[in-house]
Amino acid sequence: MSNDVTTSDGGAPMPPPTSRRRALWVATGVAGLTGVVGLAALGGLAARDDKSGEPQRVAENHAAPQNAGDSGKNAGEEHKDKDKKGEEGRDRGEWDPNGGDHGKVREVPCDDEELVEAVDLANRDHGGTLKLAENCTYELNVKDRKNGAALPEIKQDITIKGNGSTIKRDSEDTFRIFRVADGGELTLKDLTVKGGNATEFKYGGGGPQIPTPPAVMGAAPAALGSPATAVAQAGPVGQAGPVGQDSGPQGPGSWDKDKDKDKKEGEGDGGALLVERGGSANLFKVKLTDNNAEKNGGAIANFGRVHLEDSKVTDNHAQQDGGGIFNRGVLKVVESHVDNNTAGANGGGIANGNGDNTKHDSYGPNTLDNPYDKNKDKHDEGTVEIIGSDHGKDAVKSTLSDNKAGKNGGGLFSSGGFVTITFTAITNNTACENGGGIYAENTELKLDHVLVARNHADGNGGGIVNTGGKHWGYPNDKNDATATISDSTIVENTANRFGGGIFNGEWLVKVEDGFTEHNGRDKDDNATLTLRDTEIKKNTALNGGGIFNNKGKVTLTNTHVTKNTATDTAKLHRVAGGVLNNEGKVKLDDKSTITNNDPTNCANTVEDCFN
């Protein structure tokens, strides 16, 4: 289709609006306004976006019906044809990063308004492929106030080929870059996305509204309710709540949650990308950097499906959970790097679900002041798979490194659901509470060929925490936590409290109890840990330098716990550099060893362990 717009008599092209971006977004909002009112509202918005000195460009005639096809087909027939093609061509089960172009292909010049328009046209054209200009920086400075993103909401199957370009937020206003709706599928290739800033979207509350023209004052309620006449700006960014506080939508500037039932899930989540339930996103050779979220998911918040391959998620921040990525859907990370991200609460690199919303003190007697959140349900339990490769010199291990959490899970945090990690390095992460490398509660955790090294927790579990929720007030039918670790190395992790390498079991451990023998009272009902062909070496903690097991069950098969250190000097405590078992069970097979730990190998009942 030509971009030239001519007059009805075939004369010279008509001058375009000063801002195609506003024309696209306002078209729907002013549909209910007629005559002077509609023109006044549209003119005011367009004038405000006028850029002095900007060259006049010829635009498409946006007055044409949105469902009219370029080919002149009947709109209903075109919709039917394209829906059929989409059903035949789309397979969300397996994603092929080398797949060809699909739908209508559009070349997008190095211009931010051209990019906005191209995404909008692809949505109306039932999907397509956009090819960005090579090595261009698209600077976005206006957001769609209807969905809180810089670009139109992705509602179809849309591929954006970056050609080494960057899409960034360039504005004092705060907004994310992409939002994928239910039924939409976004594919990004060879692209950098940076500077997104997701804030909680407040309907009708926070900031100044677009002035209503005087002629509207006497209009019917339908006109007054038009999005074009009543759009609120996002309020100030709220600060993260105190440690241990409910990680729900609370804090300065948030409104009454009882009046918030109709608000879309994910507001304030996903600084660069938000994927709603039923939506999906595929990222190949993509870098997400310098993004921020007022709530969860500094770079990505996923409630649908996300596939990340040969990509980097670096230097992002979330005020709550998931400094790099927050997941409540299905997340697959392949040969990628999630590094140098921070979270105010849980999951510096990745958070799979929110916390258990219980308040506890990591450094002394624990309490259960905050009961189990009855609103927590199966939707909180996501699935995470992190995969590296092991193909000789071409091997690319995935990494979770140098991330930091204000609470639990410096590298990764999981509350419920499933986490599988293979051929991955989890290194140099920090948790201000527990689980320097990994914190998993009520989760089915599987690690294979994983390096967990040099992570730190100010509380328990320098390398890994595996804990069940039965003693946190979860329902009695809540599944216990299970962790299986095979062919892995857990080395040089540190904890200021218990479990330098691994903490397994219940949190309710009081320092003054002294970890005395509890013959015949073994419970092992909180968490189950199985170690196969694994080395736990040179880890340090106050007690249980290698492993601290509290009311859980640990089984070692061909596993070696060696050269770990406990720094506890209290005379009343039974100190173990290797393994300390408190009211649980630890069992070794004949190929496993616990040796050369300082000051002793084991404390309490650990069968076949010799000091």
For 346-401, what is each residue's pLDDT tens digit? 999 999 988 644 333 333 323 233 322 333 444 457 999 999 988 777 778 999 99
The whole domain housing 277 covers: 105-199+269-319
pLDDT of the residue at 200: 76
Closest Cα partner for 24 from 59, 71, 62, 72? 62
Place of tokens 């900031």: 207
Where is average pLDDT lowest: 184-193, 373-382, 500-509? 373-382
Could you check whether the bond before residue 242 is cis, i.e. omega within 30 degrees of 0?
A: no
Where is average pLDDT lowest: 97-101, 330-334, 568-572? 97-101
Within a domain: 289: yes
**Exposed/middle/buried for 34, CB within 10 Å: 0-12, 13-18, 19+?**
exposed
Contacts of 58 (CB under 8 A, 6+ apart): 3, 4, 5, 13, 16
pTM equals: 0.74
Distance, C-alpha 355 to centroid of its chain: 14
Contacts of 434 (CB under 8 A, 6+ apart): 362, 407, 408, 409, 457, 459, 460, 461, 465, 503, 507
pLDDT of the residue at 355: 67
74 pLDDT more than 80: no
Average pLDDT over residues 421-435: 97
**Exposed/middle/buried for 195, CB within 10 Å: 0-12, 13-18, 19+?**
buried
Within a domain: 109: yes
Q: Phi, psi at residue 310, to the nearest 5°?
A: 50, 45
Within a domain: 174: yes
Amino acid (one-letter) located at 87: E
Q: How far is CA 248 from CA 410, 469, 474, 584, in A?
A: 20, 19, 18, 34
Please tell me the distance from the alpha carbon of residue 202 to that of residue 233, in angstroms, as a whole number: 7
List the structure tokens of 122. 């692809």
Distance, C-alpha 543 to centroid of its chain: 34
Within a domain: 126: yes
State pLDDT tens for residues 225-270: 333 333 233 333 333 333 333 333 333 333 333 334 334 567 899 9
Within a domain: 54: no
Listed ranges 71-75, 83-87, 89-93, 562-566; the one with the highest mean pLDDT: 562-566
Contacts of 8 (CB under 8 A, 6+ apart): none
109 pLDDT more than 70: yes
Within a domain: 164: yes
pLDDT confidence bin for 603, thresholds 50/70/90: confident
598-603: long-range pairs with CB below 8 Å, 24+: 598/545, 598/563, 598/564, 598/565, 598/566, 599/566, 599/575, 600/566, 600/575, 600/576, 601/561, 601/576, 601/577, 602/576, 602/578, 603/515, 603/543, 603/544, 603/574, 603/575, 603/576, 603/579
Q: Phi, psi at residue 536, to the nearest 5°?
A: -120, 110
Q: Considering its fold, how many domains does the chain have in total?
A: 1
Within a domain: 145: yes
pLDDT of the residue at 26: 39
Within a domain: 276: yes
Which H/E stretch holds residue 222? helix 221-224
Q: How far is CA 75 from CA 67, 126, 266, 330, in A?
A: 6, 12, 33, 35
